[in-house]
């Protein structure tokens, strides 16, 4: 039997927060929502660039099963808190009908610098992402695996494309 390499894995997910009834993207999280999430998740939740977003991050995990359990716990906690405010988190690359122009960024030094440096480009960034961090101890194996991943980059890019809608308009071919 071939020995499996030692690795660690951690995942960050960003969610858009929508009104449960209208499904519209909120412009600001209600007072108390982030504090309630932070109280439950103790350092594993934070605001994101847009004031309508929440980000979670798992602990450093040693297996896919462990990271799955972490994600389930984090997702459930955020969903439960949002539900108390009549809201829901959605894991979507972009909201299909929200207008980027109506969104505002979170007032944090890092985000203020980005907003000033990138202007209109970052203001239009009405997207959410998932970041998978994998740590491989062996440097030679790390390089080999990254070279193998290159083959899959086009496939992953195709799978991660955004909604077929942007601000309510279809972005594909029209018949």
Task: Return the CATH number at 47.
Answer: 3.30.590.20
125 pLDDT higher than 90? no
Full domain range(s) for residue 39: 7-167
Is residue 91 included in any domain, yes or no? yes
Is residue 5 within 8 Å of 137, Cβ to Cβ?
A: yes
Mean pLDDT for the chain overall: 90
Q: What is the pTM of this model?
A: 0.84
DSSP conformation class of 85: T
In a domain, 135, yes or no: yes
Number of domains in the chain: 1
Average pLDDT of 147-159? 88
Residue 12 within any structural domain of the chain: yes
Q: Render pLDDT for 3-43 as a digit per residue (tens, 0 to 9).
A: 776 889 999 999 999 999 999 999 999 999 999 999 999 99
Is residue 19 within 8 A of residue 86, CB to CB? The reply is yes
Q: Is residue 108 part of a domain?
A: yes
81 lies in some domain: yes
The whole-number average pLDDT for the span 144-170 is: 82
- CB-CB contact of 31 with 87 (8 Å): no
């Amino acid at each position: 039997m071939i020995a499996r390499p030692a690795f660690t894995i951690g995942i960050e997910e960003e969610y858009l927060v929508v009104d449960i009834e209208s499904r519209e993207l909120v412009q600001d999280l209600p007072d108390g929502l982030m504090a309630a999430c932070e109280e439950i998740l103790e350092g594993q939740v934070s605001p994101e660039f847009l004031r309508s977003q929440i980000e979670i991050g798992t602990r450093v995990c040693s297996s896919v099963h462990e990271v799955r359990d972490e994600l389930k716990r984090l997702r459930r906690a955020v969903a439960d808190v949002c539900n108390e405010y009549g809201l829901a988190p959605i894991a979507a690359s972009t909201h299909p009908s929200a207008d980027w122009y109506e969104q505002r960024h979170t007032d944090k030094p890092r985000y203020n610098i980005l907003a000033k440096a990138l202007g209109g480009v970052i203001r239009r960034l009405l997207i959410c992402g998932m970041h998978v961090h994998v740590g491989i101890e062996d440097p030679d194996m790390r390089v080999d695996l990254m070279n193998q991943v290159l083959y899959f980059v086009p496939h992953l890019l195709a799978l991660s494309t955004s909604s077929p809608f942007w601000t309510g308009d279809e972005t594909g071919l029209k018949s």
